[in-house]
Structure formats: structure tokens, C-alpha cells
Chain A
Amino acid sequence: MRYGSSRFIIGFLAAPVLIYAIYVIAPYAQAFYIALTNWRGVNATPEFIGLENFRRLFGDGIFWKAVGHNALLLVLLPVLTLGIALFFAFLLNVGGKSGVSGIWGSKIYRVVFFFPQVLAIAIVAALFQQVFRPDSGGMINSVLPEPVGFLSDPDIALWSILGVLVWQAVGFYVVLFSAGMASIPKDLFEAAAIDGASRVSLFFRVTLPLLWDTIQVGWVYLGIAALDVFAIVWVMTAEHGGPDSSTTVMAAEIYRNAFHYFQFGYASAMGVVLFFFTVGFAALALRLSRRERVEF
């Protein structure tokens, strides 16, 4: 019987492991090798140049600017998204007068908040290009007295990107936290309400601690999203990460160097650096979020 079951397991695992090895592991190994060459993508024999790409990378101001933007997003995207999503989820689920149900119309809001999640990212980017249009044709600028260059002013552009990212992500976390809140027994809220807890202390003393696990997961996901930002920046901004590199991110620089400049070796070196950043983030996330769980 044991023999049969191991054959069963191997039978199921062989194909996925093989596919994984060919399409994930092997390209990885190759990317590390390509990073050590000056391959330009169209010839058959990359020339080995050692660590030259990495040496250049350390002096590449634009790449470090991109790293800085990713770091900023890594901090702000989770904080803002989780904060807003928690607030909305709280209102939708236990924010009502009684303390055990949502505010009026919560069912409609839940659908409305989730809406951005359903839209393809390219559509979101194209949509916000119009919203942010710098002349009176723009949705926001049509009501402002003085037009603001949301995407054309280098001091503002990155904040506009952050706004779009938050707008797009919040809906999903509202649903995630709503599910988390629904699994918290109602009597805990009722008990706290009977003891005279205000909505604020209800949120901070009951909801937040009991949701901690869900928030952790959300934080890791958003951290990944912040390091992985690409499509919104690439599609929405001028000069793909501009104006003047004011919104560029690591993924955009990798794409630009690989597919615009045909410097695949250099772009792979960036990919390798990004890989180590990601592993570093993951390790850090594990360290920081280690916390005991409340059982109920």
C-alpha cells in the first residue's frame, strides 16, 4: 500500500516539478549567467565580462533613483492601503450603531470598493491618464482653478502613481478584512459594546488584534506589489517612468534596458539585484511580523 501511494504521489508531482524546473528554475540560472555577459539579445554568443555589469550598476544614478522609488512605495503603499481598507472594512461590518452590523448601504459599498480590482491594469492606467490630464480636459483639472500637472510635474508624479496604486488595491483588502472580521465571533463585539466600549476602542482593542494575521498577509502581498510595480508606471507616465525619471521603478528600468536598449546582460544584472532585494524583504518581513496569535 505504501509502495502504491508513493507511486501515486510521484505520478502527480513529476509533471509539475519538471515544468517548474524548465520554466522557472532554468531561466533563473540563465539570468544569473546572462548578468555576467554583455549579451545584446540578438546574437548567439554572449561574451563573458565578469562583474562589469554590476560595477556599472553601482554608478547608475537612474537605477538607484528607481530603487528609492520602490523603497518609498514599499513603505507607503502597505501603510495607506491597509489603513484605508481597515477603516472601510470596519465601517462596513461593525461600524453601525449597534456595533454588530455595518453602516447603512454597506452591501453596495462593498461592491463599489471592489470595482477597481476587476479592471485590467492597463485600463486603470489609461483611465487615470484622462483623470490626470494636465489641461481642462482632465477630470480633476476641469474643476481646479489652476491646472496641476499630476503626471507632468516631477515633484507630484510619483504621488499620483501612489494614489492610483492605493485606489486600485484598497477594494481587495476591504473584502479580505471583511472576511476576517466576519470570522470574529459576534459575542466579542457585543460584550465589548455592553461594557461601554466606544467605536474607536472597539476598533483598536478588539478588531485590530483579532485581525492581525490577516493584516500580516496583506502587508507581505502589498510589499510584493510595491517591489513589482510596473504596468501602471510604464503605461501611464511620459517617457515610461518620467518625466525625467521621476516615477521610474526597478522593473521599468529592467524592461527599458532589456527591450529598448537591448542590453540584456545589464538588464539581467538589474534582475539579479532585484532578486536579492526581494529575498531581503521576505526575510525582513518574516522577522518583523513574528507575533503570537490570539486564539478564539
Chain B
Amino acid sequence: MAHTPLTRRELLRSAALAGILLPAAGALSACATPAGNTGAPTAPTAGAKSATNPLGIADDKPFEVVIFDGGLGDAYFTDIHQPLFKTKYPKIEIKHSATKEVAKTLQPRLAGGTPPEVIHNQGANAMDTGALVQDGQLFDLTTLLEAPSWDDPNVKVRDTILPSAIELGTYDGKYSVLTYTSGVWGIWYSKKQFDENGWQASPKTWDEFLALLETIKKSGKCAPFTYAGKHPFYVYETILTLAAKIGGIDVLKRIDNLEDGAWKAEPVKQAATAFAEIGAKYLMPGTAGLDHVQTQTAQNKGKVALLPCGVWLENEQKDSTPEGFDYAVFPLPDFSASDAMPYGTVHARPGEDFFVAAKSANPLAGVEFMRGMLSKEAAGKYVELVSTPSVVKGAAEGLQLKPGLTSANAMLSAAGDNTTYFRFRQWYLPMHDEVAAATGQLMNGRLTVEKWIERIEKKAADIKADSSVKKFTRT
């Protein structure tokens, strides 16, 4: 027997190795440590303005576009937006790329002061808009709103898009994010399945809705209700919309403004209780462990009748939807006769964020590119391609649309001004995560409504107290 220092040294080495490898995640961020202040962005110099070139961009200076690859790749860029822009500015070179990892690709470039001009900030790996605003990375797009529209020089861009898009793109009083599509949420079903079984869609009252769920359950044909269990956003979205319908838009405004007790409000409590009951009685077994694609595919296979989702559903499921499935959607029913908002109220919210980087080399060209995106031609083609309503007014006129999109458009126009939305998801991502996690537990009966409220209230208070997070307000 002998003492062997060698083994100890080996151990020491592996221990040191552990010390080096482990906080690698922390060190990762360090690779991107900025070298110092690169100075405030210099105001872009505009060239000669003209009727055809209202922003006065240089007609030979290149710019760059980075597209989020959400399954479509960069098809809409190469097929729609680039050709349109090129017809007007044949000499401008557009460099472009598509990525699924928006944050990883672009964050170092933003921190380093060499960002691309136009950024499609979307997807699970998008950059936090709040952080971007806080750090002055967004170019003020008021220029875009005030510019004449691509199609008609007498109409400003401001008047060609939905007012809600301008409202939602405004951060800190400055319009800085172009939301390109107009998302609308509802409860989706297969018209074919409902017709075959004689089920009555579009219940007008909560009792009718529960009766419908009960009928489906009793029929034994399929489960009545599901949601993307792994992403409880899909169901908290519905709960908040119902809360707004019961108590009015102020309910959501107070939540967005992180007001104390906003989640304790009676309408929020009623809505949460109502959906917790659905979770307990009518949920498809296994929902909690399935993601959006799995639950949506279950619906395509006729295993479940109803699920809440946004208007992109039909497009997302196009490969697994059987022939004649006939997607259709209905809004939330009246909860009681004293609801603050009428039947047909929907959660409608512009989405697909594009922004121009304030510190990019040629920001005005980016703005001009966006002006082209908002032309009727580009917007219409985009609607056809991705099967989602546009923020450009009348973009879908004269287009042949799929049944689900037609149904969603009808629901949206029936809603008129009765639309709701919330903004904390974009403003405070940690808050979104907490609401999602708690709601998942609520739907599976592991959290009471009281505990659910308590947890979210606490998170809201934490964020409010966190000085490192920039606060936003809406009125």
C-alpha cells in the first residue's frame, strides 16, 4: 500500500475542469461584453426627397434584412418583398438571411453596433422588445407613418393600417415596431365534425357552452376540449379574454400596468374559475404533456372537438388536416347577462414584429422597405401565403381564402371595435412565464384559483419592484 499523489492530482485536475466548464453559460454572455459606448446613433442623413422617393434614400446604398424562419423560410421575402422593392430601386443591393435563432444571431451584432437594417423579431428565440427599447436599439418609425403610402401618395401610411397596430407598435410614446399581421383568437372546431354529429357551434351563453361540452362528452365520440398543454399561454389567453369580456378592457389595462390587486379583480377570478372547471371536467386526457402541434393534430384526427388558438392554426396544420375538415372558429360566449363587453368580443392583436435597428448603417432604406411591405400588393400576397389577416386595411379584398381564415375574418369583422388584448407578454417575459406555469397547474387541478391569483400577484409585485426592468404603461 502506498499513498499516491498522482490520483489526487488527477482528481484535482478534473475538479478544476469542472470549475471551468460549469459556469460556461455565464461566461457565454461575457463573450459579448461590449467594449464601451459606441455613442448615440447619428441621425441618418436623408438625400433628395421626391414623390417616388419620399424618404430620400440613397439609391445605391445596400442594406440588410434578417428574417425569422418560422417554417416558411424566407419565401415571402424572396417572392414578395424583395421583387417589389427592386422594381423601384434596382440598384440597391439587399443582403438577406433567415434564422430560427433570432436572438443568438443578432444580439451580438446589436451590442457591437453593427446590426442589420430590418429585423423580423419573432419566434421562441426572439429578442426581448422591452430590453431593446430600454437600450435605444429601435429606430423611430414615425417617419414611416407620416410618409405617403406606397400605393397612393395622397394617403399617409398611418391611414392604411389598423389603428391597433400603431398602438401596439408604440413603445414609450414612439412608434417603433411594425406588426405585420393581425392575429385573432377564438375557439376552433371542425365544421364537418360538428355537422355530422349535429352539434351546435357558436354557443351564445356560458351555459350553452357548458351544455355543448357536456353533449360532446356524453356522445363518447371524442374529448370535448383541449389546449396546447405544454404552452399554457393558449389557455391563459382565453381566460384573460373572458375576464375582459366580463369586466371590460380596464381589467387587462390594470394587469398590464402591474397595478396592485389587478389579478384579484372579480372578473379575473370568475374567468379563471370557469376554465378551471372545464379543466376538471372536459379536458382531453394527457393534455398537460402535449404541445400545440400534438393537440392540434389530435383535433385533426377527430380525437378532440374544441381548442383555443390563434388564426395561424389553419396554416400551421395544413399538412395534417384531412380533406374537408373545414376549420371554423367562434368567439367566447357571454359569461352572464351583465358582461361589460357584448357577444362577439375577441382577442385581436397585431403580431409578427419587424423593426429597424437604430444603430444600423442605412436605417432609412429599412423604413422604405417597410413602406413597400405595407403596400396592398405585398400585404395581399402575404395574406395568401401565410393565411393570416393583415394589418393593412383591405389587403384580403378579392382573395380566395381558406375556410378557417374566412371564418376568422367574419368573426373579426363582426367584433368591430369590441377587441381586447394584453401587452405584458411582450413587456415582461418573466411575468408571462409565471402566468403560463401557474395556469397549467390551475387547469390540471393542482392549484386553486386563490393560489393562482396569489402567485401571479406576487410575480407582478416582484417585477414592479425590479429596478433593472423598464416599466411600460398603457392608457
Determine if B43 is an interface residue (Cβ-Cβ < 8 Å).
no
CB distance from B349 to the nearest CB of A (A): 20
Q: A34-51 vs B: 1/0 string, CB under 8 Å?
A: 110010111111100100
Q: Which of A21-64 contact B (CB under 8 A)?
A: 24, 26-28, 30-31, 33-35, 38, 40-46, 49, 52, 56
Determine if B399 is an interface residue (Cβ-Cβ < 8 Å).
no
Determine if A281 is an interface residue (Cβ-Cβ < 8 Å).
yes
Determine if B87 is an interface residue (Cβ-Cβ < 8 Å).
no
Q: B445-473 vs A: 1/0 string, CB under 8 Å?
A: 01000000000000000000011110000
CB distance from B454 to the nearest CB of A (A): 13
Q: For A31, give its contact among B16, B18, B26, B285 (CB under 8 Å).
A: B26
Of A129-137, A166-174, A198-206, the one contacting chain B is A129-137
Given A239-B436, A262-B127, A271-B26, A42–B110 Cβ distance below 8 Å?
Answer: yes
Q: Which of B282-314 contact A (CB under 8 A)?
A: 285-286, 288-291, 294, 298
Q: B11-34 vs A: 1/0 string, CB under 8 Å?
A: 110111111111101111111111
Cα distance, A242 to B290, chains bound together (Å): 13
Q: For A227, give its contact among B10, B14, B18, B231 (CB under 8 Å).
A: B18
Residues of A within 8 A of B20 (CB): 24
Of A1-9, A77-85, A185-193, A216-224, the one contacting chain B is A216-224
Cα distance, A151 to B19, chains bound together (Å): 31
Given A238-B291, A275-B26, A260–B429 Cβ distance below 8 Å?
Answer: yes
Q: For B1, give its contact among A239, A271, A292 (CB under 8 Å).
A: A292
B288 close to A134 (CB less than 8 A): yes
A282 close to B18 (CB less than 8 A): yes
Q: CB-nearest residue of chain B relative to A230?
A: B25
Interface of chain B: mostly helix, strand, loop or mixed: helix
CB distance from B298 to the nearest CB of A (A): 8
Determine if B74 is an interface residue (Cβ-Cβ < 8 Å).
no
Determine if A293 is an interface residue (Cβ-Cβ < 8 Å).
yes
Interface size class of B (residues with CB under 8 A): 35 or more
Given A27-B31, A43-B34, A264-B29, A282–B466 Cβ distance below 8 Å?
Answer: no
Cα distance, A116 to B150, chains bound together (Å): 58
A271 close to B285 (CB less than 8 A): no
Residues of B within 8 A of A262 (CB): 103, 127-128, 130-131
Q: A237-255 vs B: 1/0 string, CB under 8 Å?
A: 0110011110000010011
CB distance from B231 to the nearest CB of A (A): 8
Q: CB-nearest residue of chain B relative to A228?
A: B22
Cα distance, A263 to B127, chains bound together (Å): 11
Residues of B within 8 A of A258 (CB): 25-26, 28-29
Q: CB-nearest residue of chain B relative to A263?
A: B468
Residues of B within 8 A of A281 (CB): 15, 18
Determine if B111 is an interface residue (Cβ-Cβ < 8 Å).
yes
Cα distance, A174 to B300, chains bound together (Å): 45
Q: Can you sample 16 A-B contacts with CB below 8 Å? A: A31-B30, A40-B468, A42-B132, A44-B37, A150-B289, A217-B10, A217-B11, A227-B18, A238-B288, A251-B22, A262-B103, A278-B23, A279-B15, A281-B18, A286-B8, A290-B8
The 9 closest A-B pairs by CB, nearest first: A271-B26, A282-B15, A152-B289, A134-B289, A43-B135, A238-B230, A135-B286, A152-B288, A134-B286
Having A30-B30, A153-B288, one finds 9 other A-B pairs with CB under 8 Å, namely A41-B131, A44-B35, A46-B34, A134-B286, A239-B230, A243-B437, A271-B26, A281-B15, A293-B2
